[in-house]
Amino acid sequence: MAEEEEKKEEEEAKEEPQEPKSLIEKAEFLAKELKEEREKGEKLKTELSILRSREILGGKSDAGTTREIPKEETPQEYMKRITGRK
pLDDT tens readout for residues 27-68: 999 999 999 999 999 999 999 999 888 887 876 666 666 777
Report if pTM > 0.85: no
Show the DSSP H helices in the chain as ranges.
2-15, 23-57, 75-83
Using alpha carbons, select from 35, 33, 37, 6 the residue that is nearest to residue 18: 33
